[in-house]
Amino acid sequence: MVIPDIKPPCKIFGNLFGNYPDLMRFFDIWKAPSENGDIAGFDYLFLGNYVDRGAYNLETICLLMALKLKYPKQIFLLRGNHEDRNVNRYLGFGEECVRRLGDDINSP
C-alpha cells in the first residue's frame, strides 16, 4: 500500500454522494483547487463515497478525476465503499452510467 504524501494545510471532503452543487458551493466558499484558487497552498483529500445518492454522480466523479489528473501531487482520492461495482449496481451510479453513457457496468 502506498501512503500518500499529504502536506498540511489540507482541506478534507467526505461523502459527496453525487452532490455536485454542494461541492461547487464548498469551492465557492473556501476556494477551489485551481491556479486562481488555492492549489499552491493546500492539498485536498477526498475521503470516498463520491457517487450513488445524488443527482450528479457523473459530474462529481469526473470533476474529481480531472482534478487528480491536473494536480496529482495535491489532490488525493480515497476509495469508499460506494466506489465498488456491486454497491454502484444497487444504489444508483450504475443505472446512471447505463442511462447517460450507454455503459455496461457488468463489463470488466
86: its cell numbers = 456491486
The residue annotated as part of the active site, out of 82, 91, 93, 94, is 82
| Neighbouring residues of 2: CB distance < 8 A, sequence distance ≥ 6 | none
Q: Would you call 82 a catalytic residue per the annotation? A: yes
Q: How far apart are CA 16 and CA 83, in angstroms?
A: 12
Q: How far apart are CA 77 and CA 64, in angstroms?
A: 8
CB environment 15-34: b (16+ within 10 A), e (fewer): ebbbbbeebeeebeeeebbe
Which residues participate in catalysis according to the annotation?
82
